[in-house]
Amino acid sequence: MNHCCRIVGNKIHIAIKAIPGASKTEFAGVKEGCLRVRIAAAPEDGKANAALIAFFAKAIGCPRRELTLLCGEKSRNKILALPLVYREQLESILRSCMGDIAVGGGTVV
């Protein structure tokens, strides 16, 4: 089973595979341990990263400042951190991407 998230302290770290230059920004499922996100912005001057954070913040229902791009600023593979208080919202998004899952015990199962 794929694991795209893990709990680290009071944060959830999400492995993301960004697909920039898409026709629209949307979640595209979970594959190879990463939440795939199609991003309409081009991968130049940080536009795709900004669009990813804005999209994720809106989907989760949190302010952008609550999200942190931990790594992958210039890569399609990224790790995004969000506060653990948004666990239920993240589970809802992941359920829509891949069926029944739960965040807990250090991973999303």
pLDDT in the model for residue 109: 36
Structural domains of the chain sorted by starting position, each given as residue range(s) with its CATH number in brackets: 5-108 (3.30.1200.10)
Q: Is the dihedral of CA 97, 15, 17, 56 positive or negative?
A: positive
Between CA 109 and CA 25 the distance in angstroms is: 25
When pLDDT is averaged across residues 28-50 and rounded to a whole number, the result is 92
Give the integer Cα–Cα distance in Å for 9 and 31.
Answer: 25
Residue 52, both tokens? 């990813």
Q: What is the pLDDT of residues 8-31, one digit of tens each?
A: 999 999 999 999 999 999 999 888
Angle value at C-alpha 9, between 64 and 62, nearest 5 degrees: 20
Q: Is residue 53 predicted with pLDDT exceeding 80?
A: yes
